[in-house]
Amino acid sequence: MITLRTRAFGFLAVAALAAGACTSAAATASPSLAPTPTPTAAASVAPSGSVAPTAAPLPTVPSDQLVVAGHLTICSDIPYPPQEYFDANGNPTGSDIDMGNEIANRLGLKMAVQNTVFDTIIAALKGGKCDIIMSAQNINADRLKQVDMIPFFQAGQSFVVAKGNPYAIKTTLDLCGKAVGVENGTTEADHLNGAGDYKADGGLSKACTTAGKAAIDIKPYQKDSDALLALQTNKVSTYFTDSPVAGYYVTQHPDQFELVPDLTLSLIKEGISVQKGASGLGQVETSVKAALQSMIDDGTYLKILTKYNVQSGAVTSTNP
């Protein structure tokens, strides 16, 4: 995807966002590669603020359709920079978080963030732990069976390797027989395993066995940052993730990592997930979609993406 940001990340330990009144079982402590202090408990955490003056509020969502009245509660899997991560003060930030904050502002609401493990993030939404998901979720058929999704970004899939590419990975067949780190529940995991949108062709591992080579040794991790740490500690040969995230880490640590050139796969739209309209919470989807479209129309959306250097992933409409 895209080359990114300016704030250096080190490889240190755990950052977790506890959300007071919004805390749920699905919101768990997550390892972070950022040298940030452990965040303090907060029911609602504002990010770095709007990038442009907020337009007049749109008709807001009825209080009985919100997890917490007066708040737009967002489930997001942190860290996943530059789309969502913790800043130096332990507060959530990133392009998704800034967009979520601006959407909330336009609906006359305050934003609250639930740090939620990606593999259970849809269950958290359906279980009433948040109003929407903004967490670099690719739109696919399996997810659309469970939630409605509003397109808000697009991204590809990239491979990060150690500096010098010691395992000589140049094509997907070079992954055969090698350990590949990936986050559970992601499109990249589906692509390796031949699940979801990749069920018909069997995925990258099946392509290896079809070619008479050993299957890929798929190493799934609960957090994306754990998969990157596995690469840093030589437990895997490569780390497979969304391109903006891959580009971010390579840009921040050019002495440690590099991208496999000319091997970006599957450009796919990402979506804001909301409860199915049939659940009776249709106003959430309608209002969020209207707020996002107003941001696209007045240029605020592109300013947010440009702030994080991911503007090449911009969409022009909230329609599928």
The reply to whether 117 falls in a domain is: yes
| Residue where one domain finishes, among candidates 246, 267, 288 | 267
pLDDT in tens, the chain (320 residues): 333 333 333 333 333 333 333 333 333 333 334 433 333 333 344 444 444 445 555 767 889 999 999 999 999 999 999 999 999 999 999 999 999 999 999 999 999 999 999 999 999 999 999 999 999 999 999 999 999 999 999 999 999 999 999 999 999 999 999 999 999 999 999 999 999 999 999 999 999 999 999 999 999 999 999 999 999 999 999 999 999 999 999 999 999 999 999 999 988 999 999 998 755 667 899 999 999 999 999 999 999 999 999 998 999 999 88
Tell me, yes or no, whether 232 and 290 share the same domain.
no
- Residue 277, pLDDT score: 74
Residue 126 in any domain: the answer is yes
pLDDT attached to residue 278:
56
Please report the pLDDT score of residue 252 as a whole number.
93
Q: Which residue has the tokens 């807001």?
A: 60
* CATH number, position 215: 3.40.190.10
pLDDT of residue 280: 60
71 and 92, same domain (yes or no): yes
Report yes or no on 276 lying in a domain. Answer: yes
Answer whether residue 64 is part of any domain.
yes
Domain boundary among 231, 252, 267: 267
User: Is 89 inside a domain boundary?
Assistant: yes
Whether 182 and 292 share a structural domain: no
Distance (Å, rounded) from C-alpha 86 to C-alpha 196?
A: 30
Q: What pLDDT was estimated at residue 320?
A: 83
Q: What integer pLDDT is reported at residue 60 of this predicted model? A: 75
Query: Which of the listed residues 231, 250, 267 is the one where a domain comes to its end?
Result: 267
Instruction: Based on the fold, state whether residues 128 and 167 are members of the same structural domain.
Output: no
**Domains held by the chain: number:** 2
Indicate if 85 and 132 belong to the same structural domain: yes
Q: Are 148 and 275 in contact (CB under 8 A)?
A: yes
Residues 279 and 205 in one domain: no
3, part of any domain = no
Looking at the fold, whether 215 and 192 belong to one and the same domain comes out as yes
Q: Are residues 288 and 144 in the same domain?
A: yes
Same domain, 185 and 140: no
92 and 213 both lie in a single domain: no
The boundaries of the domain holding residue 128 are 14-155+270-313
- The answer as to whether 251 is a domain residue is yes
Same domain? For 133 and 21 the reply is: yes
Evaluate whether residue 8 is within a structural domain. no
Same domain, 217 and 192: yes
